[in-house]
Amino acid sequence: MVEDKDIQKLKGFREFLPGEMRARRKVFDALRKVARKYGFREITTPSLEPMDLFLVKSGEELVEQTYSFEDKGGRDVTMIPEETPTRARMVKENKDLTKPIKWFSESKFWRYESTQKGRLREFYQFNYDIFGEESVEADAEILAVAAEILKELDLDDSADIRLNDRKMLEGILSTYGIENFKEVLQVIDDKEKMTDKEFLDKLVESGLKKEDAEIVDEITSLKGSFDEVIPELEDLVPDSEESQEAFRRLVDLRDRLESYGIIDNFVIDLSIIRGLAYYTGMVFEIFDTEGDLRALCGGGRYDDLIETLGGEETPAVGFAPGDAVLELLMKREGVWPDEKVETDVYVLNVSESVRRESLDIAERLRNKGLNVETDLSGRNFGNQMDYANKINASKLIIVGERDLEKEKVTVKDMDSGDEEKVSLSDIERFFQG
Ligand code: HAM
């Protein structure tokens, strides 16, 4: 028996009341609208997966943060901390899908992180990925979707898309003889959260000589618009085929982003590396321009993951915005939707004797797609009026015996207070006009 005590919800988990949910639904609908515009099709994935799926390539940090346990059948399972490995498994298993495969989803994820502003233990992401296409066009389309999301949410002046290429950075570092990429990249990934001194110390701890740590610091400080950074990269990128190819893609990408008219949203930033282990090329994150929030969004190209899981060679590129930081930024910028419930119509029955007519009117309007409430509790006129105000009804239909004798009702506009008589036979037309 559980003792009767004050049981609180868990830290890092949220619940949403109807007003909050209405605001969130507007934001989520905008993210859905962008997906549809670019031809991404919706999928749904399991919440629980075999733990091994995340051991393959998500990276140690993420795996340590999972909610993992042994289920009753003795299997090691994990509450999904991200969707990319699941999607890779789905692509591997469904060989006949028409390519390019373009998927989006709205899902919940779980990570046992230390909770802080914008970092929770349960959160939502919208994932957008393109599978089966290695061209720079696919990278550009993914980035266009990211830019369109910022525009759709009125955030294009408050956030930057910060872009890099892992292969190019590795190439540059290798010309300085820096080869222990895994450890070094991990430190670079945390650069944003550290002071300069901490960054240098961590690089030395990861095995670099002090001079090399300083070189890494200098290289990863390179940032600016495509046109500012590309000439500098020309001198830095080594001649190896792989590095040159990565650099050429970046130059091509610049042209495509210009064609999309979104080049101003981008900053090349050589410190963007991404914590997840599966990225193989272009990587990006979206940050607020004031720099006081965590990343809103992260993604990149991951051409090996499906093969690593035992599937056919399938290039892939994608990203995911998370709801928590989006909400913080939208609130800060004053563009978060109103957290108020909405109702189109409240049908007020003046007396019990007209309940049947009131229900009939409510049903007729519901059948026309309006959102309609009517009395459930036998409340008097004043209390029904209070309720209609509390649910922010736009219009009130007052159903009274005297009006009904003339086949009419009174319709009140709740904003202006104006009232008018409307014939019963005209009600649908009145509300649709
Ligand atoms: P990620 O960078 O781990 O990437 O997460 C993407 C976004 O999800 C983050 O930028 C952040 O907004 C949100 N997010 C992550 N962790 C938390 C948390 N603990 N609390 C609140 N929000 C969080 C991925 O997950 C990749 N699978 C994205 C991807 C899709 N790459 C290719 N396709």
The residue whose CA has the least distance to atom 8 of ligand 1 is: 322
C-beta 287 within 6 A of ligand 1: no
Structure letter (DSSP) for residue 354 = G
Residues in the chain: 433
Residue of 27, 65, 125 to mutate, ligand 1, most atoms within 8 A of C-beta:
125
Q: Which atom of ligand 1 is nearest to the CA of 121?
A: 19
C-beta 127 within 6 A of ligand 1: yes
C-beta 105 within 6 A of ligand 1: no
CATH for the stretch 343-432: 3.40.50.800
Q: Which atom of ligand 1 is nearest to the CA of 65?
A: 19
Is 61 a residue whose pLDDT tops 80? no
Q: What is the mean pLDDT of the chain?
A: 94
Taking residues 15-22, what's their average pLDDT? 97
Residue of 60, 82, 102 to mutate, ligand 1, most atoms within 8 A of C-beta:
82
C-alpha 287 to ligand 1 mean position (Å): 13
C-alpha 192 to ligand 1 mean position (Å): 16
Which tokens in the block code for residue 368?
């026309």
Residue 365 near residue 45, CB atoms below 8 Å: no
C-beta 329 within 6 A of ligand 1: no
Domain boundaries, the chain: 18-332, 343-432
Q: Which atom of ligand 1 is nearest to the CA of 297?
A: 10
Phi-psi region of 228 (alpha: psi -120 to 50; beta: other; left: phi over 0): alpha
How far is the C-alpha of 340 from the C-alpha of 392, rounded, in Å? 8
Give the model's pLDDT for residue 176. 87
What digits encode the pLDDT tens for the residues 268-301?
A: 999 999 878 899 999 999 999 999 899 999 999 9
Is 59 a residue whose pLDDT tops 70? no
Which tokens in the block code for residue 49?
């997966």
C-beta 145 within 6 A of ligand 1: no
How many Cα atoms occupy the beta-carbon half-sphere of 63 within 13 Å? 15
C-alpha 204 to ligand 1 mean position (Å): 28
Across 134-138, 343-347, 429-433, least confident range: 429-433
C-alpha 125 to ligand 1 mean position (Å): 7
Report pTM: 0.94
Taking residues 213-219, what's their average pLDDT? 93
Taking residue 294's Cβ as centre, other Cβ atoms within 10 Å add up to 17
Is 143 a residue whose pLDDT tops 80? yes
Which tokens in the block code for residue 91?
């692509």
What digits encode the pLDDT tens for the residues 101-127?
A: 999 999 999 999 999 999 999 999 999
433: pLDDT confidence band, cut at 50, 70 and 90? low
C-alpha 378 to ligand 1 mean position (Å): 49
C-alpha 275 to ligand 1 mean position (Å): 10
* Long-range pairs, 358-363, Cβ under 8 A, ≥24: 358/397, 358/399, 361/397, 361/399, 361/409, 361/424, 361/427
Note the CATH architecture for domain 18-332. Answer: 2-Layer Sandwich (3.30)
C-beta 212 within 6 A of ligand 1: no
C-alpha 412 to ligand 1 mean position (Å): 47
What separation in angstroms does the CA of 146 have from each of 169, 248, 357? 23, 22, 50
What separation in angstroms does the CA of 190 have from each of 10, 100, 220, 302, 429? 27, 33, 12, 20, 60
Strand partners of residue 299: 284, 319
Taking residue 38's Cβ as centre, other Cβ atoms within 10 Å add up to 15
Residue 263 near residue 226, CB atoms below 8 Å: yes
C-beta 324 within 6 A of ligand 1: yes
What digits encode the pLDDT tens for the residues 170-213?
A: 999 998 888 777 788 889 988 888 899 999 999 999 888 999 99
C-beta 66 within 6 A of ligand 1: no
Taking residues 300-318, what's their average pLDDT? 96
Q: Which atom of ligand 1 is nearest to the CA of 84?
A: 27
How far is the C-alpha of 146 from the C-alpha of 286, rounded, in Å? 9
C-beta 403 within 6 A of ligand 1: no
**Buried/exposed 387-403: b ≥16 CB within 10 Å, e otherwise:** bbeeeebbbbbbbbeeb
Give the model's pLDDT for residue 185. 87
Is 151 a residue whose pLDDT tops 90? yes
Chain center to CA of 107: 9
Phi-psi region of 283 (alpha: psi -120 to 50; beta: other; left: phi over 0): beta
Phi-psi region of 407 (alpha: psi -120 to 50; beta: other; left: phi over 0): left
* Residue recorded with tokens 């319709």: 411
The proportion of the chain whose per-residue pLDDT surpasses 70, expressed as a percent, equals 97
Give the model's pLDDT for residue 60. 66
Instruction: Indicate the Cα dihedral angle 290, 126, 37, 226, nearest 10°.
Output: 40
Is 62 a residue whose pLDDT tops 90? no
Give the model's pLDDT for residue 276. 80
Give the model's pLDDT for residue 63. 74
Considering only CA atoms, which of 269, 291, 304 is closest in space to residue 193? 291
1: pLDDT confidence band, cut at 50, 70 and 90? low
The residue whose CA has the least distance to atom 1 of ligand 1 is: 298
C-alpha 109 to ligand 1 mean position (Å): 9
Taking residues 84-106, what's their average pLDDT? 97
